[in-house]
Amino acid sequence: MNKKTILLSLALCWQSQAATAGEVEVLHYWTSGGEAAAIDVLKDLVKKRGHTWRDFVVPGGGGESANAELKKRVIQGEPPASAMVKGPDIERWARLGFLQNLDELAQKQHWDEKLPPVIADVAKFRGHYVSTPVNVHRVNWMWINKRILDDVGVAVPTTWEEFEAAAKKIQAKGYPVIAHGDQSWQDATVFESVALAVGGEEFYRLAFVENDYGVIKSDTMTKVLAQFRRLQPYFKTDLKSQDWNVATQAVINGQAAFQFMGDWAKGEFEKAGQKAGKDFVCAPMPGTSNQFLYNIDTLVMFQLKSADAQAAQQDLADAIMSETFQNVFNLKKGSIPARMDVSLDQFDDCARLSRADFLAAEKSGGLLPSIAHGMATTARVQEEFYAVLHEFLHDPGMSPEKATVTLAKRMRYGSYAIN
């Protein structure tokens, strides 16, 4: 091949890439240290395919602000290429006709063979793929400073009775117990695990997935709320900010013994150079060792007009579902890959335990969607759920009995309100 032929080939190649190069704007709220490092993996993959990445970042770990901003953009007729949307809200956007069908790519990459049914179902609407599952988070985790536990001489608690006994010893030794950001979504994150432990799987499913008014208003819910309040005296909330990753940092620094948070917290430990089993311990929340509250991060693809934008969007979806991305992203994020065929050889013991418990819970019926993280119900019901729990913790005069009635009424209102 002569020099002219080589130059002509390169020019044609460049023109071909330029013709299909586009911009992908992605709405997400992965802004903490470990999360930001994880999303950089996807940005690099998109850029290597010749496209431009644009962040549509809305800070806030619970995603409430992101949902509000997304609605504004879609109403204005300017949706991003992709957005982080989860659970029942995927169905809502798809039902309104805003989402792109991804079946062709799904067939090409054999998604049905690589995704467990519960994950595939989350990513579909009426049997068609409309979103790409990024990972699987387990929400019902405890993150523990191992040095504090060793110093106090207490074991990792497996029941709430054991936890309260350990907490008293930890306080007596001069350590704060639970690092907790004073935000409503963080309150809800703790509460849902307490509800699962105290009420059990069927109670959780009826109350938070089916929104059964009688179950939400039951004596069992009052017991859950009473246990939730018993944890409040152990909360350390005097943090430099109330963001969840600041609470994680308090555990890393030995300024608190525990944090109750999903496994995105693990990304912060790893970013700090800490090792599972040596510097910190991961364990299921008390009373939930055989259960798995899941939070599946998914990026939906909105319908776009430009052919270049559509091509870039398809490459984005393809990259998300690649083995390379699922591996590297989740190593940094703290979660496990949505694709169960991706090896965990490079992952730590926390991730391996997470996958083992996911698969076991899938068989036993203990695999349940997180209401705190938008997997179990709509954003509107979730808002009411958040508000009542936050009010309960901030109003000493609100008894568990009164909070039970209020929660039932507000969640029922949320389920009938127009979204």
pLDDT of 219 over the 70 cut = yes
Pick the residue with more confidence: 13 or 419? 419
Distance CA 166, CA 152 (A): 9
Distance CA 179, CA 59 (A): 20
Q: What is the pLDDT of residue 29?
A: 84
Average pLDDT over residues 190-203: 98
Q: Which one, of 119, 142, 183, lies nearest residue 369 by Cα?
A: 119
Predicted TM-score of the model (pTM):
0.90
Average pLDDT over residues 344-366: 96
Q: What phi-psi label fits residue 143: left (phi over 0), alpha (psi between -120 and 50 degrees) or beta?
A: beta
| Summary count for the chain: helices (H), strands (E) | 20, 16
* Residue 187: pLDDT band with limits 50, 70, 90: very high
pLDDT of 107 over the 90 cut = yes
Average pLDDT over residues 269-277: 93
Average pLDDT over residues 236-259: 97
pLDDT of 11 over the 50 cut = no
Using an 8 Å Cβ cutoff, are 265 and 31 in contact? no
Average pLDDT over residues 234-256: 97
Using an 8 Å Cβ cutoff, are 181 and 260 in contact? no
Average pLDDT over residues 371-390: 94
Q: Output the average pLDDT for the chain.
A: 92
pLDDT, one tens digit per residue, over 57-68 is 776 655 567 778
Distance CA 34, CA 264 (A): 8
Q: Tally Cβ neighbours within 10 Å of residue 54.
A: 13
Average pLDDT over residues 293-312: 94
Q: What is the pLDDT of residue 10?
A: 36
Average pLDDT over residues 321-336: 94
Average pLDDT over residues 105-125: 96
Average pLDDT over residues 400-404: 98
Average pLDDT over residues 353-375: 96
Share of the chain above pLDDT 90, in %: 82
Share of the chain above pLDDT 70, in %: 93
Q: Which one, of 68, 130, 63, lies nearest residue 94 by Cα?
A: 130
Q: What is the pLDDT of residue 2?
A: 47
Per the structure block, which two tokens stand in for 194? 């307490």
